[in-house]
Amino acid sequence: MDNSPLSHFDDSGRARMVDVGGKAPTSRRARASGRLYLNAETFRLIESGQLPKGSPFEIARYAGITAAKRTADVIPLCHPLRLTFIDVEISPRQAHSYVEVLSTVIAEDRTGAEMEALVAATTALLTIYDMLKAVDQTMVIGDVRLLEKTGGKSDFKREE
């Protein structure tokens, strides 16, 4: 083992995947969220069903689920996980001018599912953005964050 304070780098400063082989698989759960800020006209078009590409939410939900399963393919040092559950919820919050995405990922593995939850939420947001960009160039993706993780050495829950 090395003495590097950053687990993804060896003593020479080279990036490496952390060896989790000696850890026992446990149930890991992570939740993440993010928001896509929209203008009022875009909300009106969503509600009326008049969008050029159709309703973005179900497609974005599928995209988030698929992305969680592919996280190790796009984040170089992530371990592929044995995912047992993925959920992506999309909630329009017109009164606050945003759409909120909440992802939940559960795995039975040796390392946490935080990245999978964050990738699921972010990909769902990007998919909604893609489907709405023809009608709203002012959109902003923001507030992407880990809400909670359980399992492993430590648990975390964001206080809001």
Of these residues, 10, 130, 136, 143, which one is catalytic? 130
For residue 139, the 8-state DSSP code is -
Helix axes 57-69, 114-132, angle to 10 degrees: 150
- Note if 143 is an active site residue: no
State whether the Cα torsion 104-105-108-109 is positive or negative. Answer: negative
Q: Please, what's the b/e burial string for 98-135 (b: 16 or more CB within 10 A of its CB; e: otherwise)?
A: bbbbbbbbbbebbbbbbbbbbbbbbbbbbbbbebbeeb
Nearest CA-CA partner of 92 in 48, 129, 57, 138 = 57
Catalytic residue positions?
130
